[in-house]
């Protein structure tokens, strides 16, 4: 009995054609987003450009650079974190990073005083914040992943507990604080792109670049990790090692961005959710740059609108938190309806 090879050949050709169309559509999507992001950056740098260009252009460049860095760090860390946790609602902030940042600022202000905190060398304060935040995450990961019987769900639970503890302790210290010092402290609780130090921006770029190299090398492993723990192990991936590396990468990215401009809780969830909707197939080689470009468009475009239309009457972080919070509630409702 002979079989007709034509249907099999047609099936193979159809799969190849579909893969090519997918690659083309992904390339077109990345190109469109890159053009939009570049156009917004150009408009932001050149709009109403008058006066001393030697003063205005460097300030705008630092602001744009900080927004690009934050979009890159937060977008990448959120996608990777959701991959290893197999949950598209959780973000790195669930590990208590925002609460840790607020606690760190509160303790420094309470112990040293607001004036001492303001007079402290910015590089010293930045380095101390990043090291403490990364150290917290590394201690948490070592305890959870190197011991027997420790699970990823336990890590998330511990992150929630630590976040609640940090917020409670911060609230206690803030009630005991002098009102004038509390006003100084309150300005640090909202993300701001208007007070970024140019030297710190270069240090932050270097730190983010160091963790980007291993993250990009692991991009194909992330596609396998997204299939689940059992499947990835059966396919030959060292799940514990890959997850631990990824979580360390996420901790560095979130620590740098938070220490540079302040906490933005729902920004990562917002851009990651949009990236998942735009990318037809979940491939990290496409999802990661799409999330980063969407973050750049959101931050630069949002800052442009606030500066030129609303005249700084509202902080960009407040708008992002409001929209991101709505997305978070929508995802929760969507999950409860299924």
| Alpha carbon distance 226, 292 (integer Å) | 19
Q: What is the mean pLDDT of residues 90-106?
A: 78
Segment 227-283, tens digit of pLDDT: 877 888 888 888 878 887 887 888 888 888 887 777 777 888 888 888 888 887 778
Per the confidence metrics, is the pTM higher than 0.85?
no
> Domain total for the chain?
1
**Residue 324 in domain:** no
Q: What is the mean pLDDT of residues 67-89?
A: 88
| Alpha carbon distance 119, 74 (integer Å) | 29
**Residue 206 in domain:** yes
**Residue 128 in domain:** yes
Is pLDDT at 331 greater than 60 in this prediction?
yes
**Residue 10 in domain:** no
More confident residue, 260 or 70: 70
Using an 8 Å Cβ cutoff, are 268 and 74 in contact? Answer: yes
**Residue 15 in domain:** no
Which tokens hold the place of 78?
A: 């959120």
Is pLDDT at 148 greater than 60 in this prediction?
no
Residue with tokens 């729902």: 266
Using an 8 Å Cβ cutoff, are 272 and 88 in contact? Answer: yes
**Angle at the Cα of 106 from the Cα atoms of 104 and 112, rounded to 5 degrees:** 95
| Alpha carbon distance 147, 71 (integer Å) | 34
- Residue 308: its H or E element: helix 284-308
Which tokens hold the place of 117?
A: 């905190």
Other CB atoms within 10 A of residue 138 CB? 15
Position 10 confidence tier, pLDDT thresholds 50, 70, 90: very low
Other CB atoms within 10 A of residue 285 CB? 12
* CATH (domain of 95): 1.10.3470.10
**Residue 36 in domain:** no
At 152 the pLDDT is: 59
Residues 6+ apart with CB under 8 A from 232: 221, 224, 225, 239, 242
**Residue 3 in domain:** no
| Alpha carbon distance 143, 151 (integer Å) | 10
At 33 the pLDDT is: 92
Burial of 154 (0-12, 13-18, 19+ CB in 10 A): middle
For 309, phi and psi rounded to 5 degrees?
A: -105, -45
**Residue 162 in domain:** yes
More confident residue, 205 or 331: 205
Is pLDDT at 119 greater than 50 in this prediction?
yes
Domain residues for 232? 59-264
| Alpha carbon distance 225, 227 (integer Å) | 5
Which tokens hold the place of 28?
A: 């077109």
Q: What is the mean pLDDT of residues 51-73?
A: 87
Alpha helices in the chain (DSSP H): 6-46, 53-85, 97-112, 114-119, 122-145, 152-176, 179-186, 198-217, 219-225, 229-234, 239-261, 267-278, 284-308, 316-337
């Amino acid at each position: 009995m002979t079989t007709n090879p034509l249907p099999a050949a047609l099936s193979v050709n159809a799969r190849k054609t579909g893969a090519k169309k997918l690659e083309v559509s992904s390339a077109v999507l990345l190109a469109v987003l890159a053009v939009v992001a570049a156009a917004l950056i150009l408009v932001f740098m050149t709009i109403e450009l008058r006066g001393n260009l030697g003063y205005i252009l460097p300030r705008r460049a630092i602001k744009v650079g900080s927004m690009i860095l934050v979009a890159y760090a937060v977008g990448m860390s959120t996608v990777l974190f959701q991959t290893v946790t197999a949950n598209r609602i959780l973000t790195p902030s669930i590990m208590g990073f925002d609460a840790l940042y607020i606690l760190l600022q509160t303790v420094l202000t309470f112990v040293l005083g607001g004036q001492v905190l303001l007079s402290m060398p910015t590089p010293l304060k930045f380095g101390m914040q990043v090291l403490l935040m990364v150290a917290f995450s590394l201690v948490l990961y070592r305890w959870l992943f190197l011991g027997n019987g420790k699970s990823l769900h336990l890590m998330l639970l511990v992150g929630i507990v630590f976040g609640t503890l940090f917020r409670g302790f911060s609230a206690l210290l803030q009630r005991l604080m002098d009102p004038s010092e509390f006003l100084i402290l309150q300005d640090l609780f909202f993300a701001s792109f208007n007070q970024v130090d140019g030297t710190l921006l270069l240090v932050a770029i270097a730190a983010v670049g160091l963790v980007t190299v291993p993250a990009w090398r692991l991009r194909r492993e992330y596609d396998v990790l997204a299939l689940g723990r059992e499947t990835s192990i059966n396919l030959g991936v060292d799940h514990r090692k890959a997850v631990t590396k990824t979580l360390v990468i996420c901790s560095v990215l979130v620590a740098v961005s938070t220490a540079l401009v302040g906490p933005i809780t729902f920004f990562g969830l917002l851009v990651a959710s949009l990236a998942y909707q735009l990318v037809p197939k979940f491939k990290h080689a496409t999802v990661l740059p799409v999330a980063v470009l969407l973050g750049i468009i959101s931050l630069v475009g949002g800052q442009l609108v606030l500066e030129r239309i609303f005249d700084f009457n509202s902080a960009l972080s407040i708008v992002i938190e409001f929209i991101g919070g709505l997305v978070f509630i929508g995802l929760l409702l969507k999950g409860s309806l299924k």
